[in-house]
């Protein structure tokens, strides 16, 4: 996605498969049906009916939102962080792909922010990664016309991978479909791939109802599944890598 013309009607729910694949030293993979929200940060959903239990976006969940000097909106925190990386994203739209809080809880392994300029052209993408230790790290990248970019890994995510290697990233929205893919590439080792792709539907009340009934307590299930897959890998003697001390970034709590 390079212009706002590629965006579907927002807010939207993106439903589709999340696929993980690891090939060494233990071969393991999974495919789970899931969904995420695609929202404009100038018009973040804030329902007052039953949807408030499955559609809540809290500033504390993203970037600098938990710090003592946190700003009042997610957009303001994105703008501040992008500025520390040399990008001014104040003039145009910012669109977020994320999980919403469900029954007051959220775990969001990857949040993606597409940042556009006043002419509607893509300026940069902010990819915010959360691990299960309550830490977060953000990367600012500029994808090519096909949505592909790369960056060196700088954050401990999985207990089975150290902080080495390079990410190949793909962030695309086209013809109503959203695709995000992260491939960890390391010399002499097989790639680790995490990929989500789905169709975007305008988040009407009926679409939200059908989606949450099909995937109840989504974020709680994500938390549980991460741990169950971790136990599976540990039981097969995949070595655990000591967690490196987390280095906080400017503008990221």
| 39-53 residue pLDDT tens | 999 999 988 899 989
pLDDT value of position 12: 96
Return all residues near 34 (Cβ < 8 A) that are at least 6 apart. 15, 16, 17, 18, 196, 215, 218, 222
Query: Per-residue pLDDT for 246 more than 70?
Result: yes
Q: What is the pLDDT of residues 210-226, one digit of tens each?
A: 999 999 988 888 888 77
Distance, in Å, from the CA atom of 67 to the CA atom of 80, rounded to the nearest integer, reads 13
Q: What is the pLDDT of residue 4?
A: 84
Closest Cα to residue 167, out of 221, 93, 112? 112
Ramachandran region, residue 167 (left: φ > 0; alpha: ψ -120 to 50; beta: rest): beta
Q: What's the average model confidence in pLDDT over 13-35?
A: 84
Q: How many other β-carbons are positioned within 10 Å of the β-carbon of residue 134?
A: 10
pLDDT score for 67:
54
What residue has token string 């977060």? 136
Average pLDDT over residues 129-151: 91
Sheet (strand 136-141) strand order: 136-141, 122-130, 110-116, 94-98, 28-40, 12-22, 192-202, 177-185, 166-174, 148-152
Q: Quote the CA–CA distance of 52 and 10 in Å, as a whole number.
A: 17
Query: Is the pLDDT score of 204 beyond 90?
Result: yes
Q: pTM higher than 0.95 for the full model?
A: no
Q: For position 68, what pLDDT does the model report?
A: 55
Q: Is the peptide bond before 95 cis (omega within 30 degrees of 0)?
A: no
Give percent of the chain above pLDDT 70.
95
**In which element (H, E) is residue 28 found?**
strand 28-40
Using 50, 70 and 90 to split pLDDT, how confident is the model at 79? very high
Mean pLDDT of 156-164: 79
Q: Over 80: is that where the pLDDT of 231 sits?
A: no
Four-point Cα dihedral 245, 184, 62, 178, nearest 10: -170
């Amino acid at each position: 996605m390079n212009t706002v013309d590629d965006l579907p009607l927002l807010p939207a729910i993106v439903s589709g498969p999340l696929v993980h694949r690891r090939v060494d030293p233990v071969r393991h993979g999974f495919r789970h049906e899931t969904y995420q929200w695609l929202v404009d940060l100038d018009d973040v959903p804030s329902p007052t009916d039953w949807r408030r239990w499955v559609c809540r976006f809290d500033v504390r969940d993203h970037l600098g939102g938990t710090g003592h000097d946190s700003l009042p909106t997610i957009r303001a925190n994105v703008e501040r962080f992008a500025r520390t990386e040399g990008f001014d994203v104040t003039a145009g739209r910012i669109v977020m792909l994320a999980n919403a809080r469900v029954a007051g809880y959220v775990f969001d392994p990857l949040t993606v922010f597409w940042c556009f300029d006043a002419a509607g052209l893509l300026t940069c993408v902010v990819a915010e990664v959360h691990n299960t230790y309550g830490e977060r790290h953000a990367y600012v990248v500029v994808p090519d016309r096909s949505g592909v970019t790369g960056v060196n890994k700088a954050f401990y995510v999985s207990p089975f991978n150290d902080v080495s290697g390079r990410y190949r990233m793909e962030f695309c929205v086209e013809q109503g479909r959203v695709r995000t893919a992260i491939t960890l590439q390391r010399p002499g080792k097989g790639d680790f791939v995490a990929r989500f792709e789905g169709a975007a539907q305008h988040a009407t009340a009926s679409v939200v109802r059908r989606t949450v009934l099909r995937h109840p307590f989504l974020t709680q299930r994500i938390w549980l599944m991460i741990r169950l897959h971790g136990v599976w890998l540990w039981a097969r003697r995949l070595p655990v890598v000591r967690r490196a001390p987390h280095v906080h970034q400017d503008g990221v709590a």
